[in-house]
Every structure is written in structure tokens, then in C-alpha cells.
């Protein structure tokens, strides 16, 4: 298990990319729309972990859109990369840990993802991600 990325909710992806890429000099890996989650994302590596910028889709703002409405831009979640997401979710569920997702769903870059409820983590939305077989 290791830190994969820190997700930051932004109102404007181009403006945020400009700061992180042009301002700080981080390379931009590109953009990807994740329609199921209602976001367009871009990743910028900082060593091995990455910064993930999340902009809600205008047609389906989803959870990130609600986050921005309620709290404004800022850190949305922390993501840990795991080897066996199904086993970990079963372990957490059996331990009585409150999960948002009891089974994986599709995330960016073909990753299988699931979220642990902030009530179980001391107030932090925790994403667990298992890489696609090619990663």
C-alpha cells in the first residue's frame, strides 16, 4: 500500500493546471473525463505520488460539484494504491468500517476504486485504488 494521489476539487481545471504546471513546473500527464463520477481530471506527478485536479462536469456535477458548492475549492480526498481491493473492502466491512462503496467501481486510468466514509477516518475522504493490470 502506498500514497497514490491527493485529489483537489477545483472550479476551473485550466486555471488550476496553470498554477501546478506552469507555476510550479510539474508535468501534466493529461486529462480524462470520468463520466461515472461527474468529473474531468488531470494528474500531475510529484515524485511518485500525484496531484489529481478534479473539475465537475457541467452536465453531471456529481459529488465533486456538491463538495465545491458546500465547501469551495480544496483538498477533496487522499488516495491509497492497494494490490487487492476486493479483499481489503471485505476486511474493512467485516471490521465494521463505514464504507461508501462496498464493491469497486471504475475510476480514472482504468483503476478500480472505492471510498471509505470520512466518519471512519477522522474526517478524511479516503479513496482506495487498485491499478489496471497493465500498470
pLDDT tens digit sequence for 32-52: 999 989 999 999 999 999 999
pLDDT tens string 91-127: 999 999 999 999 999 999 899 999 999 999 999 999 9
The pLDDT value recorded for residue 60 is: 85
- Please check whether residue 126 is in contact with residue 78, taking contact to mean a CB–CB distance below 8 angstroms: yes
pTM of the predicted model as reported, rounded to 2 decimal places: 0.93
What gap in Å lies between CA 109 and CA 25, rounded to an integer? Answer: 23
Above 80 in pLDDT, residue 86?
yes
CA angle 102, 117, 10 (to 5 degrees): 115
- Residue spans of the domains in the chain: they are 2-130
What percent of the chain stands above pLDDT 90? Answer: 91
What's the 3-state SS for the chain?
A: CEEEEEEEECCCHHHHHHHHHHHCCCCCCCEEEEHHHCEEEEEEECCCCEEEEEEECCCCCHHHHHHHHHHCCEEEEEEEECCCHHHHHHHHHHCCCCECCCCCEECHHHCEEEEECHHHCCCCCEEEEECCCCC
Q: Band the pLDDT of 135: cuts 50, 70, 90.
A: low
pLDDT score for 61: 87
Q: 2-130 sits in which CATH class?
A: alpha beta
pLDDT tens digits, 64-83: 999 999 999 999 999 999 99
Amino acid at each position: 500500500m502506498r500514497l497514490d494521489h491527493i485529489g483537489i476539487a477545483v472550479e476551473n481545471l485550466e486555471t488550476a493546471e496553470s498554477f501546478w504546471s506552469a507555476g510550479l513546473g510539474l508535468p501534466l500527464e493529461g486529462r480524462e473525463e470520468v463520466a461515472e463520477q461527474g468529473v474531468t481530471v488531470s494528474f500531475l506527478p510529484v515524485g511518485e505520488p500525484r496531484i489529481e485536479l478534479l473539475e465537475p462536469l457541467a452536465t453531471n456535477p456529481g459529488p465533486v460539484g456538491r463538495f465545491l458548492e458546500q465547501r469551495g475549492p480544496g483538498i477533496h480526498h487522499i488516495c491509497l494504491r492497494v494490490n487487492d481491493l476486493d479483499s481489503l473492502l471485505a476486511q474493512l466491512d467485516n471490521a465494521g468500517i463505514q464504507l461508501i462503496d462496498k464493491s469497486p467501481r471504475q475510476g480514472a486510468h482504468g483503476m478500480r476504486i472505492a471510498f471509505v466514509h470520512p466518519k471512519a477516518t477522522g474526517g478524511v475522504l479516503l479513496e482506495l485504488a487498485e491499478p489496471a493490470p497493465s500498470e
